[in-house]
A and B are shown apart, each in its own frame.
Chain A
Amino acid sequence: MDSALLTLLADALGRVQQGDFQVRIPQATASDQEEEGVIDRFNQVVEQLGRRNQDLIRIAQIVGREGELTERLPINDYPGEWAGGVQAVNSLIDDLGRPTTEIARVIVAVADGDLSQKMALEIDGQPMRGEFLRIGRTVNTMVDQLSSFADEVTRVAREVGTEGKLGGQAKVTGVSGTWRDLTYNVNFMASNLTAQVRNIASVATAVAKGDLSQKITIDAQGEILELKSTMNTMVDQLSSFGDEVTRVAREVGSEGKLGGQAQVRGVSGTWKDLTENVNQLASTLTTQLRAIARVSTAVTRGDLTQRITVAAQGEVAELKDNINQMIVTLRETTKKNAEQDWLNSNMARVSGLLQGQRDLNEVCRMIMDEVTPLVDAQVGAFFLQQEGQDGTVRLRLTGSYGYVPEGYSVDFAPGEGLVGQAVAARRTIRITQTPPGYLTVRSGLGSAPPADVVVLPVLFEGQPLGVIEFGSLSTFSELHLTFLDRLVATIGVALNTIRANQRTEELLSQSQRLALELQEQSGEMSRTNLELEEKAALLSEQNRNIEIKNQEIEMARLGLEEKAQQLALASQYKSEFLANMSHELRTPLNSLLLLARLLADNTERNLSEKQIEFARTIHNAGSDLLSLIDDILDLSKIEAGRMDVEASNVELSEISEYVERAFRPQAEEKGLKLRVDTIGETMPMVYTDAQRLQQILRNLLSNAVKFTDSGSVTLTIGNAAPAEPFGVPTLDSAAKVVAFAVHDTGIGVPAEKLSLIFDEFQQADGTTSRKYGGTGLGLSISRKLAQLLGGTILVESTLNEGSTFTLYLPDVLPGLPANRPAQFATRPAPLQGMPVTRPNPAILRPVSRPEPVQTPSTRRLDGACVLIVDDDVRNVFALTSALELHGMTVLYADNGAEGVRLTTEHPEVDIVLMDAMMPDMDGNETTQAIRRMPEFADLPIVFLTAKAMPGDREKAIAAGASDYITKPVDLDDLLELMAGWVQ
């Protein structure tokens, strides 16, 4: 490419740059094909630029100037980058055009009266901005205000104008300028109309309600003004008329001011007629009322003579007639009332006077004085019925008024005269035309016959009590007659009462008299009573004392009984204690004595004299002690009443022999003579307790021997002298009394000690015991034993010369039937304490047949050797006896170890009977021990057990037992069982 072309191009481009799209490079300048191409392309570009510029200008003109918003650039003509530009331009047109269209739509709607349209403030989802937004809002605000204004005005117009709702105001906010003025005017018009209409309405309402004081006050013009003044005039006239009519009505009707007339000025027509009618009404009412009031006032003052005479019609005429009738009735009633009052008050007065009266004459006089003038009578008489001594009834004059006796008797029998007739007929008699001279009423100045006479009977419950007669110069009025009729009834009651009172008083005085007498008598009685009561009180007091004494005695008796029981109990305890004690003391003493005796006898010949002496001393002292204990035991037994008496027939010869046998050696030892004498025809035997008798004699004789140093001791047995009094009932009542007298030639007993020697531990002299030994209990026991046998012991003694103790016994022990002695001698003693039952069950059941019975089993067992292992020897012993009877040999072991030992030592044992329960080593263990030895593996071992507890048998078999049997064992069963095991 040559530079020329380049220059051309540069030049041309420079022009294009400066906006010249008309530049072209001519083809001719092209030097070659290539350059021709460049030039051609360049020219095309410039031409295209120019055309597109034209397009833009055109579109701007069409859209901007001509308002054709639908025009667009043809996008197809612009390829490449151009298309973006074209798109932008078209979009700009769109964006500008759409709001304009919207605004136009809204404004067109407003212009058509549609105020509901509003501008959309976003288009195709894109909110408006900038100027468009402002315009949009302004348009919408304008539409809102217009709409609001139109609504308010329409509402106010409708409310005020159509619906009559006054007071409505248009409220349009946010308007200004003309709109505000317009709104204001509409409101002003509405409020003006409202005020006027309300004013008129309120006045009209007030008039309708009767309030005529209201006026229309509101400012108004034109027709409204006219309406206002007419209304006000009408209200004024109505008010005036109302006031007048009200006043008249109030004066005449309410306040009673008659004669008032309504004065209404300036009215005409109907109003005037109305006024006149009201006035007419008021005056007529006034006239009639005044007439009625006058008469009523008179009646009120008590003037019953007036009558209402005013002319009236209708109801008022009825009223007038009624009032007149009422006045007449009132007049009559008043008269009757006055008469009744008179009647009642006088009846009351006379009744009052009659009350409390006791004297009949006084009553009659009082009635005459009071009643006669009351009934305008001038003469009165009272006849009282009285019963005479002879039982006849007479009516006697007892009171009178203004009466002058005529000189004849004035008492009548019933039926006599008018007075008697009135009583007989029990009814009032009246005489109105009295003949001359019948009766005279006299005064000091003159006299006249009465015109009217009435005779009244006085009755009570139909029984006549008297008659009253009255005479009067004038005629008795009905009132007076009625009064009299009623009065006589009252008088009857009064008279009856007085009579009854009189009778009561009489009875009372009589009863008082009687009461007085009674009182006197009762005084005497009460005195007597009092004395009696005193005596009774004294007696009961003594009784009570006696009772108390009795109670005390009873209490004392009970106390004594209790004491006695306690004593008896204590005594029993004591004697039991003593008995036990003695036994306990004797038991060791016995062996002591035995051994001492053995020593003293010195059988071995190896003791010295001294040692023998010691042993003898021990033996003697022990013997003394033993006898003392025996004595104490006897004494306590006797005192406790437990000394038994065994009576039997006792041969006296035996007694003699006993004494000889027992005391001769002793006596001879002391060099004394002993004699036993039987004197007289003594009976051969006595029925008594031989042992006790011996005991007594032993005591007496040993004493005699003890206290006698030289001389003799004599026992004399014989019958006691029959006349001898003993002072012992059993002796005194006995058929015969035997005396055993023991006489000695010993030291004797001083007389003053004789009464003491029978007391316990008493000897004649304190030194006696030291010299002679002894306990001093012997005599005491002897005497008590003698008493026990129903006898006594008496003593005679001379000091230093000797004593005689005599035992007296009845021939038959008292308290026992005499015909039974023989039976007593052979009475079997009760067997007590024999083995009966024991806690352990017996091995053997009681065997009914003691004789062994031979059976095949027992034959087989004969000669067998049995080992019994059992710790209960009682049962074993019984069993052994039974087995031995059947020819068996029995070996015994009382414990398991011994059992095992015996088993080994005695191979001849055929069978073992094993007790299951043993202390230390029981049956099971023993059996196991035996079984451990091989030679006894087959030895039969039979278990005996007290009670078969479950499992016992199994245990025994497990231990090696051959068999098992339960105690108590039936012997036959056992033998059978054993036979089965013994070979």
Chain B
Amino acid sequence: MTATNDRVPGAPKVLMVDDRRENLVALAAILQGLPVEPVTAASGEEALKRLLVDDFAVILLDAQMPGMDGFETAAHIKQRERTRHVPIIFLTAVDRDAHLAFRGYAAGAVDYLTKPFDPWALRAKVSVFVDLWTKNRQLSEQAATAARYAALAATVEEALGHLDQGSPEKAAAVLRSVG
């Protein structure tokens, strides 16, 4: 879990999983300049550990890894309610086996890039998913605000009802309960 030096506080996090350090460096270089906090994991297990303690906007997952490979890692991720909607982009050097790509998609990948890939393409894809995540976040925040307002309105309504029935104590109690 090496964070890059241009870490953006509070920025969406991108989880990069590869057993090769140089690949992680390259991925970090590609994402340089994007408003994200890249988080690296050197194995599937470490990726799962990261996921247990953090939320991520997108996951870049190397398919070929010793031990728990990308497919298994993806399967675990997809089984967990909290992480199943995190978009996964598979990165693999093995491009000629068509069924590998299929496996990637079957494991829940939103995209499947074979190396060597165009860094700008990857950068663009990540950027899209990060935007999406940010939008989602904002949406859910707005939804929460709306719900809060709705609740508040309902409470005021209830208080008004109590007032109408001539029981200001009850109205005051209801209003107090929401602070």
Contacts and interface: CB of A to CB of B under 8 A. Distances in A.
Contacts of A884: 80-82
A591 B119 contact: no
Contacts of B144: none
A595 B20 CA distance: 14
Among the interface residues A586, A590, A593, A601, which one has the most CB atoms of the partner chain B within 10 A? A590
A829 interface: yes
Contacts of A590: 23, 26, 93, 115-116
Interface string B90-134: 000110111100110011000000011111100000000000000
A588 interface: yes
A587 B93 contact: yes
B103 A829 contact: yes
A646 interface: yes
A594 B16 CA distance: 15
A881 B93 contact: no
B151 interface: no
B26 A881 contact: no
- The B interface, classified by DSSP as helix, strand, loop or mixed, is helix
- The A interface, classified by DSSP as helix, strand, loop or mixed, is helix
Contacts of A583: 64, 93-94
B72 A833 contact: yes
Contacts of A598: 26, 29-30, 119
A878 interface: yes
Given A587-B20, A881-B79, A876 B52 contact: yes
Interface in B13-35: 20, 22-23, 25-26, 29-30, 32-33
A873 B48 contact: yes
Interface in B36-68: 45-46, 48-49, 51-53, 64, 68
B98 A646 contact: yes
B30 A890 contact: no
A626 B68 CA distance: 27
Nearest to A695: B96
A877 B116 contact: no
A597 B119 contact: yes
Contact of B45 (A829, A874, A880, A892): A874
B69 interface: yes
A661 to B, nearest CB: 15
Contacts of B94: 583
B53 to A, nearest CB: 6
A870 to B, nearest CB: 10
Nearest to A646: B98
A735 interface: no
A871 to B, nearest CB: 9
Interface residues of A, number: 43
A337 interface: no
Contacts of A593: 116
A830 B100 CA distance: 10
Among the interface residues B20, B33, B52, B98, which one has the most CB atoms of the partner chain A within 10 A? B52
A368 to B, nearest CB: 132
B33 A833 contact: no
B106 to A, nearest CB: 6
A685 B75 CA distance: 37
Interface in A557-606: 583, 586-595, 597-598, 601, 603
B25 A591 contact: yes
Nearest to A868: B52
B29 A594 contact: yes
A594 B80 contact: no
A644 B102 CA distance: 15
B137 interface: no
B75 A835 contact: yes
A718 B48 CA distance: 54
A503 B9 CA distance: 146
B81 A881 contact: yes
B76 interface: yes
Contacts of B51: 877
Given A833-B69, A833-B72, A873 B45 contact: yes
A878 B52 CA distance: 11
Contacts of B97: 644
B61 to A, nearest CB: 14
A767 interface: no
Contact of A829 (B29, B49, B96, B102): B102
B80 A877 contact: yes
Interface string A801-831: 0000000000000000000000000001111
Contacts of B46: 873
Contact of B30 (A594, A829, A832, A833): A594
A881 B53 CA distance: 13
Contacts of A834: 71-72, 75, 107
Nearest to A619: B116
Contacts of B79: 877-878, 881
Contacts of A890: 52
11 contacts: A590-B116, A591-B20, A594-B116, A598-B29, A626-B116, A834-B107, A876-B52, A877-B48, A877-B79, A880-B52, A884-B81
Interface of A: 583, 586-595, 597-598, 601, 603, 623, 626, 633-634, 644, 646, 691, 828-835, 873-874, 876-878, 880-881, 884-885, 890-892, 894
> Nearest 10 pairs between A and B by C-beta?
A829-B99, A892-B52, A590-B115, A881-B80, A829-B102, A591-B26, A594-B26, A591-B22, A873-B48, A835-B72
Given A831-B106, A877-B51, 9 more contacts: A587-B23, A591-B22, A591-B23, A591-B26, A595-B26, A598-B29, A874-B76, A892-B49, A892-B52
